[in-house]
Amino acid sequence: MARTDFGPPHYSTLIPDIIKENYGKWLYHEQIRPGVLKHVSETGAELYTVRVGSPRLASIDFIREICEIADKYSKGHLRFTSRHNIEFLLDDKEMVEPLLEELARRGLPVGGTGHSVSNIVHTQGWVHCHSAATDASGLVKSLMDGLYDYFVENKLPNMVRIAVACCLNMCGAVHCSDIAIVGIHRKPPRIDHEKLHKVCEIPSVIQSCPTGAIKPNPKLKSVEVNPDKCMYCGNCYTVCPAMPIADPENDGVAIFVGGKVSNARTAPKFSRLAIPYLPNNPPRWTETVEAVKHLLEVYAENALPGERYGEWIERIGWERFFKLTGLPFTEKHIDDFIFAPTTFRTTTQFNW
Amino acid sequence: MANEEKKTPLLDQLEEGRWPSFVKEIKKAAAKNKKAEALLGQLELSYREKKVHWKHGGIVGVKGYGGGVIGRYSDVPEQFPDAAEFHTIRVNQPAGWFYTTEALRKLCDIWEKYGSGLTNFHGSTGDAILLGTDTDKLQACFDELAEAGFDLGGSGSDLRTPSCCVGPARCEFACFDTLDVCHEITMEFQNELHRPMWPYKFKIKIAGCPNDCVASIARADLSVIGTWRDEIRVNQEEVKAYAEAGFDIQGMVVDKCPKKAVKYNAETREIVIDNESCTRCMHCINEMPRALRVGKEGGATLLIGAKAPIVKSAFMSWVIIPFMEMKPPYTELKDFIRTITDWWDENGKTRERIGETIYRLGMPKFLRDTGIKPVPQMVTAPRANPYYFWYPEEVK
């Protein structure tokens, strides 16, 4: 048996010398151009970071390709960011331009720093998940093609963090993103009564439902779903494969806006519903890409310099957000889940 | 497979455009590997039918571990026999996601031998993801990974692989050594990481400052976020340099300070910070990194309970320990993790995240049971209702 419980390789064996020498001594940084950062140390050392967008779903050929680049320009060292970008870490300023030229030749985008749209954090989708209501990789590829200029340039009031989750399980930080795209179902699960008692534990299935919509059906040794109470979260499917909820005709995506995780200026915020449903339209998800572009453009035109998406909305008010974006405000936008009262307006202060 | 089935007209459209294409990546792997080729075919089917074609879970793994491998089976194996089994191996990433090309090439060589040749760098939780292998290859693959120094990450109801921001390795904002804390915590809780034993998953994310570049406040059951206790360090010479360069200190920094704690004297071109009013949001430091620095007395705020909407709504983490020193060997932090996970293990229901358990049973009970002292930093305001418990020892 192989050894176990030895943990990941120690980071100290993987960081470049310039980082070893200046670990914890960094004094300040500046953005030289979008995608290129310069960090200056107390020792006077300068570290240049070149940030590159990646497809996240990468072949080993791709990984070997970036290794080749790292060997040539950053002494065999590189890192990845929390948003799936690749960072080449250079201790020689003279190597920055040649690296940028090589990256351009290879078609790898440089950007994602400063007031940009960084790479989209996303989930597995149809590529590798069982509960996906939409694909994630295809949606993200289509979005990033559409938002490419926002990645390579700094033309927004502040950074915009976009995330995609292919179902409500949200294995990405979708719910606190400037723009969050979530795969949703719109019909209750179907019940395979023949199979259910063989593969599922009925009490767990009943307990899994956050709205109490599932009750036992002793006659069939199965369960029933009350369609008036079900809000299609799919949690029952997660505990019971005999309750499939995926539906090609009705699944799609919802778009939430104005969330953030940073504590800068204002507290972290949840993203809030802007568009309740757009259809799944592979391979290019045209409606979703257009909607996100529109949401970005309205923000870019109206927000003050330095304002994050949610800070802009907080300043102008949601009523004006819906007016400026032209998005319809519907009953779907009004919360009726357990924390709903915290979102009701308990003041006469609002805009017309 | 018939030639007709090999055609992927829908996915081919995703080879176009300026952003790097994942379809090109799958095709590169498919040129050399049957599993990747089968994945391409099955994904095209999903695109045609707008429907996922993976079955629900399946328990597979390697000897000695309960997590780290996600079983994945095709629901159309007769059409794509090479994708019938397509398991994921989660490889615990190095802290801060730093690699040498030597280490990455080792991973590639192993994965070329045992898997589809497809990866995620990285998965949402932080692991390096090896995407697509067969049950009978798992053990041999892990054995070689182990030999190369790579261990598995978490999956299922266990401690998920902790992750951290770049920290002091490349960021002047780091209030403590995030990489070291991440590595030490990962090593300390290897058993919890590899053997699912808890009510549900438990995530730890470690951010060096309140900018929270790892989204810990949104995603981690335990968020460790850097902060400081003393004063923001001001370099007045650099303040002058910003002013001379035409930077709008009043508009971009002073007016945007949430606590109105920054004063700027346009005549002397100096900044004064009222550190007692400052809530250490990072805004002024983010805007003027050359002139302003985080305090010297760094440590972390510990927050608890973040999770995605399933089941009872999304939570953000809330403050539980306003300040903890982060000094090796991090005994206080390790003890704290044991205290809270033991409590959750005792009280949590199946598939209940720690935040939900606290929500169900009440924060006062949680504090009482764990011996954590209530402090005003935990709440934005005290309760507005008179519905609180008195215990027998508190009344006559």
The ranges assigned to domains in chain A are 13-106, 136-186+248-333, 195-239
Does A305 contact chain B (CB < 8 Å)?
yes
Dig out the tokens for B249 from the structure. 């200190």
Read off the pLDDT of each residue in B13-17 and give the average, rounded to a whole number: 98
Tokens 């609180």 found at: B388
Query: In tens digits, what is the pLDDT along chain A, a chain of 352 residues?
Result: 579 999 999 999 999 999 999 999 999 999 999 999 999 999 999 999 999 999 999 999 999 999 999 999 999 999 999 999 999 999 999 999 999 999 999 999 999 999 999 999 999 999 999 999 999 999 999 999 999 999 999 999 999 999 999 998 888 768 999 999 999 999 999 999 999 999 999 999 999 999 999 999 999 999 999 999 999 999 999 899 999 999 999 999 999 999 999 999 999 999 999 999 999 999 999 999 999 999 999 999 999 999 999 999 999 999 999 999 999 999 999 999 989 999 999 999 999 8
**How large is the average pLDDT for residues B81-105?**
98
Tell me: pLDDT of B42 over 60. Answer: yes
> Between B281 and B57, where is the model more confident?
B281
The distance in angstroms from the start CA to the end CA of chain B is: 81
d(CA A273, CA A256): 4
Is the CB of B311 inside 8 Å of chain A's CB atoms?
A: yes
**ipTM for the predicted complex:** 0.96
Closest CA to B80 of B2, B27, B181: B2
Q: Which CATH superfamily hosts domain A136-186+248-333?
A: Sulfite Reductase Hemoprotein, domain 1 (3.30.413.10)
pLDDT surpasses 60 at B32: yes
Distance CA B180, CA B237 (A): 33
Tell which phi-psi region holds residue B330, choosing left (phi > 0), alpha (psi between -120 and 50) or beta.
Answer: left
Is B220's Cβ below 8 Å from some Cβ in A? no
Q: What is the mean pLDDT of residues B347-364?
A: 96
- Residue B82 main-chain phi, psi, to 5 deg: -75, -15
Instruction: Identify the burial level of B12 via C-beta atoms within 10 angstroms of its C-beta, where 0-12 means exposed, 13-18 middle and 19 or more buried.
Output: middle
Mean pLDDT of all residues in B145-150: 97
Among A4, A261, A339, beta carbon nearest to B212: A261
DSSP 8-state class, residue B86: -
Q: B2 pLDDT exceeds 80?
A: no
Spatial CA neighbour of B126 closest among B85, B170, B169, B178: B178
B1 compared with A284, residue with greater pLDDT? A284
Is A13-106 in CATH node 3.40.50.300? no
Please choose, from the candidates B101, B118, B110, the residue with its C-alpha nearest in 3D space to the C-alpha of residue B150. Answer: B110
Using an 8 Å CB-CB cutoff, list chain A residues near B52: 125-126, 129-132, 246
- Closest-CA distance, B310 to chain A, in angstroms, reads 6
**pLDDT at B101 > cutoff 90:** yes
Q: Is A215 on the interface with B (CB under 8 A)?
A: no
Record the tokens describing residue A286, joined without a space.
């045209």
Contacts of B309 (CB under 8 A, 6+ apart): A168, A170, A175, A233
Give the A window 122-181 contacts with B, CB below 8 Å. Answer: 122-123, 125-132, 135, 137-138, 141-142, 144-145, 148, 151, 165, 168-176
All residues of chain A having their beta carbon less than 8 Å from the beta carbon of residue B110 are none
- Inter-chain CB pairs, A–B, below 8 Å: 359
What are the extents of the domains in chain B?
9-148, 159-229+297-394, 233-293
Give the 3-state secondary structure of residue A214: strand
Q: Compare CB distances from A4 to B64, B104, B107 and report the shortest one's residue.
A: B64
Sign of CA dihedral A337, A339, A344, A349: negative
Structure tokens at B152: 């598995």
Give the type of residue at B270: E
Helices (H), B164-318: 178-188, 190-194, 216-219, 236-244, 249, 283-287
The pLDDT of residue A262: 97
Please list every residue in chain A whose beta carbon sits closer than 8 Å to the beta carbon of residue B13: 283-284
First to last CA, chain A: 70
Structure confidence by residue, pLDDT tens digits, A217-270: 999 999 999 999 999 999 999 899 999 999 999 999 999 999 999 999 999 999
pLDDT digits (tens, 9 = 90+) for B152-190: 999 999 999 999 999 999 999 999 999 999 999 999 999
Within 13 Å, how many C-alpha atoms sit on residue B61's CB side?
Answer: 16
For B192-219, what is each residue's pLDDT tens digit? 999 999 999 999 999 999 999 999 999 9
Any CB–CB contact under 8 A between B174 and chain A?
yes
What's chain A's length in residues? Answer: 352
Q: What is the mean pLDDT of residues B65-71?
A: 95
Q: Do domains B159-229+297-394 and B233-293 have the same CATH topology?
A: no
Question: Can you say whether the dihedral through the CA atoms of B220, B180, B225, B340 is positive or negative?
Answer: positive
Identity of the amino acid at B325: E
CATH topology of domain A195-239: Alpha-Beta Plaits (3.30.70)
Question: Residue holding tokens 């920054």?
Answer: B262
Chain-chain contact of A58 with B57 (C-beta, under 8 angstroms) = no
Name every chain A residue with its beta carbon within 8 A of the beta carbon of B349. Answer: 207
Average pLDDT over residues B289-309: 96
Q: Is the peptide bond before A84 cis (omega within 30 degrees of 0)?
A: no
Residue B312: pLDDT band with limits 50, 70, 90 = confident
**Can you spell out the DSSP letters for A291-347?**
HHHHHHHHHHHHSPTT--HHHHHHHH-HHHHHHHHTPPP-GGGS--STTGGGGS--S
CATH number of B9-148, picked from 1.20.1050.140, 3.40.50.620, 3.30.70.2500, 3.60.20.10:
3.30.70.2500
Q: What is the CATH T-level fold of the domain B233-293, as seen in this structure? A: Alpha-Beta Plaits (3.30.70)
Sequence-ordered alpha helix ranges (H) in A175-285: 193-199, 202-208, 235-239
Percent of chain B's residues with pLDDT above 70? 98
User: Quick check: B166 contacting A, CB < 8 Å?
Assistant: yes
Contact A59 B25 (CB under 8 A): yes
Q: Is the dihedral of CA B171, B174, B178, B179 positive or negative?
A: positive
Q: Per the structure block, which two tokens stand in for A338? A: 């357990």
B217 — alpha (psi -120 to 50), left (phi > 0) or beta? alpha
CB of A250 within 8 Å of a chain B CB? The answer is no
Give the pLDDT band (50/70/90) at residue B1: very low
Q: Which positions in chain A touch B214 (Cβ < 8 Å)?
A: 82
Q: Is B349 on the interface with A (CB under 8 A)?
A: yes
Task: Measure A120 CA to nearest chain B CA, in Å.
Answer: 11
* Architecture of the structural domain at B159-229+297-394: 2-Layer Sandwich (3.30)
| Longest Cα separation, chain B | 85
Q: What gap in Å lies between CA A247 and CA A131, rounded to an integer?
A: 11
Report the pLDDT averaged over residues B58-70: 92
- Specify the pTM: 0.97
Q: Which of A27, A79, A263 sits opposite B282 (nearest CB)?
A: A263
Judged against a pLDDT cut of 60, whether residue B5 lies above it is answered with: no
What does each C-alpha distance from A5 to A123, A336, B53, B70 come to in angstroms? 27, 46, 34, 18
Q: Is residue B190 helix, strand or coil?
A: helix
* Closest approach of B271 to chain A, Cα-based (Å): 18
**Dist. CA A172–CA A119, nearest whole Å:** 13
Rounded Cα–Cα distance for residues A260 and A162 (Å)? 10
